[in-house]
Amino acid sequence: MKRYVNNENGLSLAELLAAIAISSFILVSIYGVFFSGLNAYKRIFIENQLRSEADYIVATIMNKLYEFAPDGIAMDQPTNAQIVFVNDKRKDIDSLGFVNEKPEPTQKLTITLQDGSIAVDGERLHSDRLKIVAEESEFSCTCSQQEEEEKKICRSGVVTIKLTVQDRYHDPGDLLHVKPFTLKTEFGF
């Protein structure tokens, strides 16, 4: 041990180059892990932001439906890109507490997939980052009680909203690209 302490020769060039090479290899590895971790963090942040914006859009749709209080769904729409809710009965409560339904002119609330977004009665629910993949998104209704054939109105059933979303700002070649993912919401009426 004393032999190295009292040695005044220092390091040779080969030892110095070996130390630099090993240090460089370790630093490049650490940088690669750090950089990939940072990109993974950013992708997760983008995905969470997309989920939040999609949840906000579905919550807005649910609020519009709550305000509209539909009596059913028009079943004469052959497309999965649109769903039409109808309100054609007025409910009154008489003095004895019974609910009386009276016909009234039909009102409609239309929800449509269009141009990478959702529109409620023509008003787009806009999001800067969120783009809806129309080819993979759909509205559907499973009807359990349908009215007579001439009206084609479903009075009871389950509505399914399937939205496939992606980020508008990052293309597939980008490091921060998030693959499109599907969110599904079901509710009964």
Q: Supply the pTM of this predicted model.
A: 0.71
pLDDT digits (tens, 9 = 90+) for 52-105: 888 888 899 999 988 888 888 888 866 788 889 988 876 666 667 776 666 667
**Six token digits for residue 51:** 């989920």
pLDDT digits (tens, 9 = 90+) for 114-147: 888 888 988 988 788 888 888 889 998 888 877 6
For residue 149, the model assigns a pLDDT of 62
For residue 22, the model assigns a pLDDT of 95
What is the DSSP code string of 83-119?
Answer: EEEEEEEEEEE-TTS-EEEEEEEEEEEEEEEETTEEE
Exposure string (b/e) for 98-132, b if CB count within 10 Å is 16 or more? eeeeeeeeeeebebbbeebbbbbeeeebebeebbb
More confident position, 151 or 44? 44
**Is 181 within 8 Å of 156 (Cβ atoms)?**
no
CA distance 71 to 32: 58
Q: Using the 8-state DSSP alphabet, how is residue 145 labeled?
A: E
**Six token digits for residue 45:** 């942040």
More confident position, 149 or 135? 135
Q: Which residues is 111 bridged to in the sheet?
A: 83, 120
HSE of 130, CA atoms in CB hemisphere, 13 A: 26
